Amino acid sequence: MLQIGYIRENRDEVIAGLQKKNFKELNLVDEVVALDESRRALQSSSESIAAEANSIAKQIGDLMRQGKKEEAEAIKITTSGHKAQLKELSDKLLRIEQELHNKLVQLPNLPHHSVPAGVSAEDNEVVLEHGVIPDLGANALPHWELADKYKLIDFELGTKIAGAGFPVYTGKGARLQRGLVNFFLDEAIKVGYSETQVPHAVNEASAYGTGQLPDKEGQMYHITQDDLYMIPTAEVPLTNLYRDEILKEEQFPIMHCAYTPCFRREAGSYGAHVRGLNRLHQFDKVETVQIVHAEKSYETLEEMSSYVQSLLQKLELPYRVLRLCGGDMSFGSALTYDMETYSAAQQRWLEVSSVSNFETFQSNRLKVRYRDADGKMTLAHTLNGSALALPRIVATLLENNQTEKGIKIPAALVPYVGFEYID
């Protein structure tokens, strides 16, 4: 959530940032500023009346101690309206604060100055490309056919049990999933992340804190009877570990990783581009989250990007890094890098990771703060990144490594799966 003081003092800059994100409800900015002015005026009036009432109460007390009861009672009559005034102002202030909050949460985060302008994925900026795209020839099979050929994934059985988008992994397919999870966790631990097991469902306050609510309410599975939400990513519970906490500078950087299944409704996802593992309602992912000093977050973002790239290099996958344009960024992100691997059988790039800096957008909602060197209370910066999401990694591993002998497993993964080929 944007900070009201920043909006008030930097109105034009805020509007320019929202325009870069293609946010249409720009009138909200002036509405927020006007409500904030009303709120501050009511607070000032309330404080003045309270101060006057306190002063008179002290005067009455002094008169009573001096035995001047009649004078005290006369003054008391003149203050009879203070209590009613304060109650009226308090009720108005509560209503305005609620209206102000409701409008503030509708405003997305502002983009970093390096974010390119644009409206869709076609406008994203390619930062770098790495690796050689394999030439598989005309007979290359897409991963859904390879999965059927080698009995790795049963999409129809998953549909029978739960519905489309809930695959069943079998045999070496299940072992590949488990091996990738363990590989990603071990690599994260090596660079300093603390492995954490978290709930797979969160309450409304947690989903609000990281920005899933109210922006992505329709994309989450909602357990209505208990008012819980199935997590779309481990980012939500991991970041909420520090909700309402005052941290110490020496705790930074706080680094967590977690393996969880992820649940996304993905309403309206149909067509060939989402076939097989390309888009699922349930999938496995290892997530990394960092909470850092405000001055270190962009340095941390680059480190997180490099770390994800190192995983793709160890898996011997060709990849590219994109800096997302304003129109393709998430609601809460200030800057996002997407990592895509090339699917040689589908002949297109597939997103496998997003690494984002949220600056203070989440920490302002979560009230994650620390005291700086001068003792000033400051909002921490939060970041997260997929390291990595499994479905499209599996898709490109299967497709790019298909040979006449079978599907070759990258050397770094062999100790985790126990075989060199799927045949």
The total number of residues written for the chain in this structure: 423
SS (H, E, C) the chain: CCCHHHHHHCHHHHHHHHHHCCCCCCHHHHHHHHHHHHHHHHHHHHHHHHHHHHHHHHHHHHHHHCCCHHHHHHHHHHCHHHHHHHHHHHHHHHHHHHHHHHHHCCCCCCCCCCCCCCCCHHHCEEEEEECCCCCCCCCCCCHHHHHHHCCCEEHHHHHHHCCCCCCEECCHHHHHHHHHHHHHHHHHHHCCCEECCCCCEEEHHHHHHCCCCCCCHHHCCEECCCCEEECCCCHHHHHHCCCCCEECHHHCCEEEEEEEEEECCCCCCCCHHHCCCCCCCEEEEEEEEEEECHHHHHHHHHHHHHHHHHHHHHCCCCEEEEECCHHHCCCCCCEEEEEEEEECCCCEEEEEEEEEECCCHHHHHHCCEEECCCCCEEECEEEEEEEEEHHHHHHHHHHHCECCCCEECCHHHHHHHCCCEEC
pLDDT at 109 over 80: yes
Angle between helices 69-78 and 80-104 (to 10 degrees): 40
Give the residue numbers of the binding site.
233, 264-266, 287, 351-354, 384
Amino acid 62: pLDDT: 76
Among 74-78, 347-351, 391-395, which is the least confidently predicted range?
Answer: 74-78
Mean pLDDT of 27-45: 95
Mean of per-residue pLDDT scores for the chain:
93
For 52, the token pair is: 């006057």
Mean pLDDT of 75-83: 69
Residue ranges of domains in the chain: 4-104, 121-422
Among 34-48, 80-94, 187-201, 357-371, which is the least confidently predicted range?
Answer: 80-94
Q: Residue 282 carries which side chain, given as an amino acid letter?
A: Q
Among 41-50, 93-102, 184-193, 225-234, which is the least confidently predicted range?
Answer: 41-50
For 75, the token pair is: 């003054």
pLDDT class of 296 with cuts at 50, 70, 90: very high
Per-residue burial over 24-44, b if 16 or more Cβ lie within 10 Å, else e, is eeeebbeebbebbebbeebee
Amino acid 113: pLDDT: 96
Return the bridge partners of 305, or none: none
For 4, the token pair is: 């009201």
pLDDT class of 78 with cuts at 50, 70, 90: low
User: How many Å separate Cα 367 from the centre of its chain?
Assistant: 15
From CA 38, how far away is CA 36, in angstroms rounded? 5
CB 60 within 8 A of CB 53: no
Amino acid 152: pLDDT: 98
Q: Residue 310 carries which side chain, given as an amino acid letter?
A: S
Q: Which of 365, 397, 319 has the alpha carbon at shortest distance from 153?
A: 397
Mean pLDDT of 65-70: 78
pLDDT at 117 over 80: yes
Q: Residue 305 carries which side chain, given as an amino acid letter?
A: S
pLDDT class of 400 with cuts at 50, 70, 90: very high
Amino acid 84: pLDDT: 78
Class level of CATH domain 4-104: mainly alpha
Radius of gyration over alpha carbons of the chain, in Å?
27
Question: Looking at the whole model, is its pTM more than 0.85?
Answer: yes
Place of tokens 């680094």: 255
CATH architecture, domain defined by 121-422: 2-Layer Sandwich (3.30)
237-277: per-residue pLDDT in tens? 999 999 999 999 999 999 999 999 999 997 555 555 678 99
From CA 209, how far away is CA 238, in angstroms rounded? 11
Q: What does residue 337 show for φ and ψ, rounded to 5 degrees?
A: -105, 130
Amino acid 56: pLDDT: 74
Give the residue numbers of the binding site for ATP.
264-266, 351-354
Give the residue numbers of the binding site for L-serine.
233, 264, 287, 384
